[in-house]
Amino acid sequence: MVTIVGSIGGDQQVVLKRKYNRNLANNEHSAILKGKELYIKDLIDIMEREQRLRDESARNAEADKNKLRLIDLDAAEEKAKRDDRDNVIVNAYQDAFSKTELALMSTAKVNSNYGGSRVSLVATSNLTSKFLTNGNTYRRSEIKSYIDGQMNKYRFVHEAVDKYGDIDLTVNAVIQFDGKAVNVYTYKATWSQIMKSWR
């Protein structure tokens, strides 16, 4: 023992030394190099095995895709109709949003899910240039009034919705501050097909 170093978590650290043994040091160095080589080899083996599994999965997926199946034409036609209707509604709501002033400051996406009978629009609107003052102040009431007014213009019911389902609208208003996008207001509204109204 050559010294005791302070305390670590309440325990003292004891420093020990031993006489330098060239043969022992060389053996330990060789063992470390060998261990490193084995570790790298194991990593390569793992990566090659994972690649083989991915390739096998891709081949199986391709074979399954090309597999001859019994097709219910009624079900296939109904799915095609739903897909067409999805596209019509999504395009209608996307186009309507693009005409709002809010669209100029937003990234927005309209999604549909005929399985769940829903259409959703989720937008993130950067209102920094419009509402940030003095470098670090804003009024939430003004942002709320602005977003609500814009979305009241946007809320409409496409003619195909009666045969479709509900519509969910979400707008996250953010202000860029200190290198981060800070969410300062979230607008949510839903068209209920059952109630035939927005809520």
Domain of residue 173 covers 74-198
Number of domains observed in the structure of the chain: 2
Q: Which amino acid type is present at position 62? A: E
Same domain, 134 and 78: yes
Same domain, 34 and 126: no
53 part of a folded domain: yes
Give pLDDT, residue 9. 65
Give pLDDT, residue 10. 67
Dihedral over alpha carbons 86, 150, 199, 94 (to 10 degrees):
0
Same domain, 124 and 106: yes
0.75 surpassed by pTM: no
Give pLDDT, residue 86. 79
Residue 180 vs residues 44, 144, 161, 176, 184: alpha-carbon distances, Å: 39, 20, 38, 5, 12
Same domain, 60 and 25: yes
Give pLDDT, residue 125. 96
55 part of a folded domain: yes
Of the candidates 172, 176, 191, the residue with the CA atom closest to the CA atom of residue 130 = 176
| Tens-level pLDDT at each residue, the chain (199 residues) | 888 877 656 677 888 888 888 888 888 888 888 888 888 999 999 999 999 999 999 988 888 888 888 889 999 998 888 788 778 888 888 999 999 999 999 999 888 775 556 788 999 999 999 999 999 999 999 999 999 999 998 998 887 777 667 889 999 999 999 999 999 999 999 988 788 888 8
Same domain, 53 and 149: no
In which region does residue 6 sit, left (phi positive, over 0), alpha (psi from -120 to 50) or beta (all else)?
left
